[in-house]
């Protein structure tokens, strides 16, 4: 169900032309979107082809939109500009001797399995030996051209981030290098121990010892006084987590352009996102681990009293398959909490702690299952319209409150006005009461049904259970960025859960994470004048030729009426293109302005990540009353290409303009 499309999600609607690039992250202040069915929030980005248009596990030569011949636009958008048509020269003598052609031919030959009859299995005939020539790294579960070429780009990025900060480089580049250095400083991470984690629990107004642990801090603990003065409110904690960690817990929240009027941004409320909002936790292995983790938890029988006789045969088999995964998770999270408890109170009673940990995890998992169940029920009980736009609902906060109170009448749980006041705290809209009162949000019927049911669940569930869920979710998200021993526990859990035999080197892990946050600053190393002078005009011609061919097909088709043809041709003519890298990327002043307000510290890794994510959220909220500019759907360092249909724009980063997607010797 996590793979289902939604009618509208957040930010720009970006479709990878090829395979879903698992390293890809949205730029600051943008969030990707996918069309489809049902809910306004929480679908992951969907690629047009899950298998990379033939290249995912094959030779990948000549696929997709970057074959090496020409269409529309410059580093910045040309908006529909077409270049004069040029025929390909008929004189191809000698082309096979070019370095590019020799490389392409060799790659194709070594990928082929010539022992296979092409009439029986053409895919195996053409790609059967690709996996032998491109062995899968131990740290991942699959391999393809996109991962290989992204790994190549990230090695370039890593060397750049390792280099000394130079006064000749923009300040934003220095910030990226500083963040990388802090991530690499594992000695400092170990020295700080779990202090940063505790600090964020306090900031989120979560208790250092959840109620379900049934423990109290001893007088020897340095946190005794802070615990005594702490207060907990699940709504305030949930919003604080959203503000600082950008993580949806129970309620989904985002800001994105109105689907019918891009000049207006709308707040959306609905089902929560299931993906991590923390870029460092979003590589392909972590995404797969979360998918398996969700399946592990949600396929388990939620009521301990249920008999095995009540399960059908498929459910029995599924339960058997998830038993080992659940055992690995419980063992992992138990050890994490044990280490945490010893840090906040070295004299904690171990026997009492063991009982308390079991209760804490049981409550947290039970809430997680229920949230998932409510989400599934809402999506399955609403039938999507043929036109996704018809499912959109505009509603005021007062109307939403009336809707969510229906299931608990005559009781009421007034949370929406308070939620909005809390989420806008610290922004320039904080004191604008009229804005909050008159706010119109965007949602869908599935989202409203989910919110009705989740409010009913919140009203009848003990606050301590919600507390356990929020606490566990936060710990799991942040603990990776603390000590070596915590990371070792996670690596072992990952090995047992997804079967990887190794882990990504710390240097590449940090480079990927920094690239996810400081993508434009990191791409400074990729932007060169030779691309602008040589390759950019060729890509412009490639796109121009594609557009011209498309227009010719539209004109000749018999199944479109004249009005539809005109609209289609107009859309094609007005499509904007972003190729290579932004023209301002080499301008230090412009690059610094892009990241103005983002701060980093050479010795505070977790604070760097949290601070950046919080800065993104605050920028989004501060600017929500202004039109969102149409721009780049991803950073230039991303090996993929994107179509943002709401903006009628395509983005072709410089990183994908490399072999085997380009430079094939066909020009």
CA angle 42, 401, 382 (to 5 degrees): 45
The secondary structure of 317-385 as a DSSP string is HHHHHHHHHHHHHHHHHHHHHHHHHHHH-TT--HHHHHHHHHHHHHHHHHHHHHHHHHHHHHHHSSPPP
Burial of 220 (0-12, 13-18, 19+ CB in 10 A): exposed
Q: What is the pLDDT of residue 273?
A: 87
The pLDDT confidence band at residue 97, using thresholds 50, 70 and 90, is confident
| The pLDDT value given to residue 323 | 65
Calpha distance 530→538 (Å, rounded): 12
* HSE of 65, CA atoms in CB hemisphere, 13 A: 30
CA distance 192 to 196: 7
Rounded to 5°, the CA angle 117-119-122 comes to 80
Is residue 95 very low, low, confident or very high in pLDDT (cuts 50, 70, 90)?
A: low
CATH 1.10.1380.10 domain range(s) in the chain: 195-307+326-506
Q: List the one residue out of 420, 372, 620, 448 whose CA is nearest residue 40.
A: 448
Nearest to 226 by CA among 194, 202, 196: 202
Q: What pLDDT shows up at residue 137?
A: 84
CA separation for the pair 185, 463 (Å, rounded): 39
Please check the confidence at residue 364 and state whether its pLDDT lies above 80: yes
Pull the structure tokens for residue 516. Answer: 């996810």
Question: Which range has the top average pLDDT, 249-263, 325-339, 603-617?
Answer: 603-617
Q: Report the alpha-carbon distance of residue 129 to residue 113 in Å, rounded.
A: 6
pLDDT band at 89 (very low <50, low <70, confident <90, very high): low
pLDDT band at 138 (very low <50, low <70, confident <90, very high): confident
Q: Per residue in 158-192, pLDDT tens?
A: 999 999 999 999 999 999 999 999 999 999 999 99
Q: Helices 234-245 & 195-203, crossing angle to 10 degrees?
A: 120
The CA-atom distances, in angstroms, between 385 and each of 259, 266, 340 are 16, 21, 48
In 366-453, at which residue ranges do the beta strands (DSSP E only) sit?
392-396, 440-444
Q: Mean of the pLDDT values across residues 602-618?
A: 96
pLDDT of residue 53: 39
Residue-wise pLDDT tens digits, 377-424: 998 887 777 777 778 999 999 999 999 999 999 999 999 999 999 999
pLDDT surpassing 60 at residue 30:
no
pLDDT in tens, 287-346: 777 777 777 776 654 443 444 444 344 444 444 445 677 888 999 999 999 999 999 999
pLDDT, tens digit, for every residue of 437-452?
889 999 999 999 999 9
pLDDT of residue 322: 53
Q: What is the pLDDT of residues 545-588, one digit of tens each?
A: 999 999 999 999 999 999 999 999 999 999 999 999 999 999 99
The kind and range of the H/E element at 416 are helix 416-423
Cis peptide before 14 (omega within 30 of 0): no
d(CA 283, CA 510): 11
- In three-state secondary structure terms, 196 is helix
Res 50: pLDDT: 38
For residue 94, pLDDT beyond 60 = no
Q: What is the pLDDT of residues 459-513, one digit of tens each?
A: 999 999 999 999 999 999 999 999 999 999 998 998 888 877 777 899 999 999 9
Q: According to the model, what pLDDT value does residue 57 have? A: 42
pLDDT band at 34 (very low <50, low <70, confident <90, very high): very low
Question: For all residues of the chain together, what is the average pLDDT?
Answer: 83
Kindly tell me if the per-residue pLDDT of 233 is higher than 60: yes
The CATH architecture one would assign to domain 195-307+326-506 is Orthogonal Bundle (1.10)
Average pLDDT rounded to a whole number, residues 636-644: 93
Which residue would you say has higher pLDDT here, 41 or 82?
A: 82
- The pLDDT assigned to 14 comes to 43
Number of alpha helices (DSSP H) and beta strands (DSSP E) in the chain:
25, 8
Q: Apex CA 118: angle with CA 113 and CA 122, to 5°? A: 80
According to the model, what pLDDT value does residue 184 have? 98
pLDDT of residue 499: 77
Give residue 300's pLDDT: 53
Nearest to 278 by CA among 150, 183, 387: 183
Across the range 430-438, mean pLDDT stands at 86
Own/partner contacts of 166-173, CB < 8 Å, gap of 24 or more, are 169/524, 169/588, 170/521, 170/524, 170/588, 170/589, 170/591, 170/592, 171/588, 171/592, 172/518, 172/520, 172/521, 172/524, 172/591, 172/592, 172/594, 172/595, 173/521, 173/522, 173/524, 173/591
Q: What is the DSSP letter of 596?
A: T
Q: Which of residues 26 and 168 earns the better pLDDT score?
A: 168
Rounded to an integer, what distance in angstroms lies between the CA atom of residue 310 and that of residue 532?
Answer: 66
């Amino acid at each position: 169900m996590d793979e289902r499309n939604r009618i509208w999600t957040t930010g720009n609607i970006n479709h990878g032309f090829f395979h879903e690039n698992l390293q890809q992250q949205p730029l600051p202040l943008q969030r990707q979107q996918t069309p489809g069915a049902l809910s306004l929030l929480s679908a992951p980005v969907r690629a047009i082809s899950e298998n990379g248009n033939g290249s995912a596990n094959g030779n990948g030569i000549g696929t997709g939109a970057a074959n090496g011949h020409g269409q529309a636009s410059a580093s910045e958008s040309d908006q529909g500009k077409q270049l004069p048509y040029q025929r390909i020269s008929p004189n191809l003598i000698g082309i096979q001797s070019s370095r590019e052609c020799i490389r392409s031919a060799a790659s194709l030959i070594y990928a082929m399995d010539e022992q296979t009859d092409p009439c029986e299995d053409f895919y195996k005939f053409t790609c059967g030996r690709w996996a032998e020539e491109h062995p899968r790294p131990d740290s991942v579960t699959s391999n393809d051209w996109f991962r290989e070429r992204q790994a190549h780009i990230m090695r370039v990025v890593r060397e750049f981030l390792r280099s000394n900060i130079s006064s000749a480089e923009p300040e934003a580049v220095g910030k990226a290098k500083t963040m990388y250095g802090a991530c690499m400083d594992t000695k400092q991470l170990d020295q700080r121990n779990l202090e940063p984690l505790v600090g964020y629990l306090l900031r989120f107004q979560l208790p250092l010892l959840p109620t379900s642990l049934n423990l109290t801090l001893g007088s020897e603990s340095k946190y005794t006084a802070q615990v005594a003065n702490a207060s907990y409110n699940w709504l305030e904690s949930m919003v604080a987590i959203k503000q600082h960690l950008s993580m949806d817990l129970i309620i989904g929240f985002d800001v994105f352009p109105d689907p019918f009027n891009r000049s207006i941004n709308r707040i959306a409320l609905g089902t929560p996102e299931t993906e991590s909002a923390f870029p460092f936790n979003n590589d392909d292995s972590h995404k797969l681990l979360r998918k398996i983790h969700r399946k592990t938890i949600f396929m388990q029988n939620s009521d301990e009293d249920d008999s095995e006789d009540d399960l059908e045969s498929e459910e029995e088999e599924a339960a058997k398959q998830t038993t080992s995964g659940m055992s690995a998770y419980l063992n992992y999270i138990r050890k994490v909490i044990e280490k945490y408890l010893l840090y906040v109170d070295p004299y904690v009673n171990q026997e009492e702690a063991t009982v308390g940990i079991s209760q804490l995890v049981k409550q947290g998992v039970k809430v997680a299952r229920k949230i998932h169940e409510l989400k599934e029920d809402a999506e399955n009980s609403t039938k999507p319209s043929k036109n996704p736009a018809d499912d959109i609902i505009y509603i005021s906060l007062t109307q939403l409150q009336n809707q969510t109170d229906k299931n608990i009448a005559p009781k009421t749980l007034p949370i929406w006005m308070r939620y909005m006041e809390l989420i806008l705290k610290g922004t320039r809209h904080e004191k604008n009461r009229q804005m909050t009162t008159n706010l119109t949000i965007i949602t869908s019927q599935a989202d409203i049904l989910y919110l009705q049911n989740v409010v009913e669940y919140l009203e009848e569930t003990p606050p301590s259970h919600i507390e356990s869920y929020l606490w566990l979710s936060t710990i799991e998200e942040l603990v990776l960025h603390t000590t070596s021993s915590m990371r070792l526990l996670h690596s072992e859990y990952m090995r047992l859960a997804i079967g990887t035999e190794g882990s990504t080197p710390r240097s590449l892990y940090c480079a990927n994470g920094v690239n996810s946050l400081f993508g434009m600053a990191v791409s400074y190393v990729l932007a060169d004048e030779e691309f602008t002078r040589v390759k950019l005009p060729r890509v412009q011609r490639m796109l121009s030729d594609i557009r011209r061919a498309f227009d010719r097909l539209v004109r000749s088709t018999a199944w479109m009426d004249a009005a539809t043809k005109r609209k289609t041709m107009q859309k094609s003519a007005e499509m904007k293109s972003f190729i290579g890298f932004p023209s301002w990327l080499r301008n230090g002043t412009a690059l610094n302005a892009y990241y103005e307000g983002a701060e980093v510290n050479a010795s505070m890794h977790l604070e760097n990540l949290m601070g950046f994510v919080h800065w993104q959220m605050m920028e989004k909220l501060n600017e929500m009353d202004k039109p969102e500019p149409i721009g780049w759907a991803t950073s230039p360092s991303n090996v993929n290409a994107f179509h943002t249909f709401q903006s009628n724009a395509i983005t072709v980063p410089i990183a994908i303009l490399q072999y085997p997607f380009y430079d094939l010797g066909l020009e």
